[in-house]
Structure 1
Amino acid sequence: MFKVIAVYRVPTDDAAKAKFEDHYTNIHTPICLKIPGIKELRTNKIFGGPTGASNLHMIAEMCFENKDAWKAAMKTPEMMASGKDAMTFAGDQVSVHFAEELITNA
């Protein structure tokens, strides 16, 4: 599986956090789900780390079946809209990465 992974840092205060949550849920998620070839949108809300609080708020994974599906999606207007929206509501609070998932079963 190939992914676009967005790592969001913790918003600056409670009001910014509420605004972020509202935008992510009601505007950004529907935009992402329109991307051709997307298989899943996984949202991971960070609640802490081994030493306590984390500077991360959320990790989102847009999942595609294979590299060809990912490459095709990267060229679509829907993906461009998703990226533009992320920069609008998260700006320097988000970093975006591309990954191939490798699974090792126990």
Structure 2
Amino acid sequence: MAKIIVTYDQPKDQEGFEKHYHEVHIPLVQKVPNLKGAEVHRVLQSMYTDEKLYLIAELQFESPEVLTQALATPEFQEVQGDVKNLVAYLNKPPVVAIVD
């Protein structure tokens, strides 16, 4: 299993972020080939940090190799291109980690 984990801080425009994230961004993510699963978690509380975490998203793939192949697809490139649209609602870009 391999995952992409994305953390979002509290948006400066929460309503705009929520609308774009759920109506545009998530449908784009759902088109990524070989996506095994996806979860979005609303952060209720974060500890040991000054960051104001808002959402954590997990995209799951069968293996690191499958994840790497998915990153190269036009569908994933479209997801990455949409991040700039999300950033308009945020104070700073999301943090992305690729993990196994």
TM range (shorter): 0.7 to 0.9
Q: CA offsets, 1:57-89, max 9 Å, x none?
A: 001011101122111101101111111112221
SS in 1 for 2:36: strand
Question: Which residue does the alignment assign to 2:4?
Answer: 4
Q: CA offsets, 1:5-48, max 9 Å, x none?
A: 11101012xxx101101111110000000000001111011011
Larger radius of gyration: 1
The one-letter code of the counterpart of 2:8 is: Y
CA distance in 2, matches of 1:49, 1:62: 21
For these two proteins, the number of residue pairs brought into alignment is 96
Q: How does 1:20-59 map to 2 (within 5 A)?
A: 20-50=17-47, 55-59=52-56
Q: Confirm whether residue 66 of structure 1 aligns to residue 79 of structure 2.
A: no
Shift of residue 90, structure 1, vs aligned partner: 2.3
Root-mean-square deviation (CA, aligned residues, Å) is 1.8
Question: Which residue does the alignment assign to 2:76?
Answer: 79
SS in 2 for 1:6: strand
CA distance in 1, matches of 2:20, 2:26: 8
Structure 2, unmatched stretches of 5+, are none
CA distance in 1, matches of 2:6, 2:60: 12
Shift of residue 50, structure 1, vs aligned partner: 4.5
Q: Confirm whether residue 93 of structure 1 aligns to residue 93 of structure 2.
A: yes
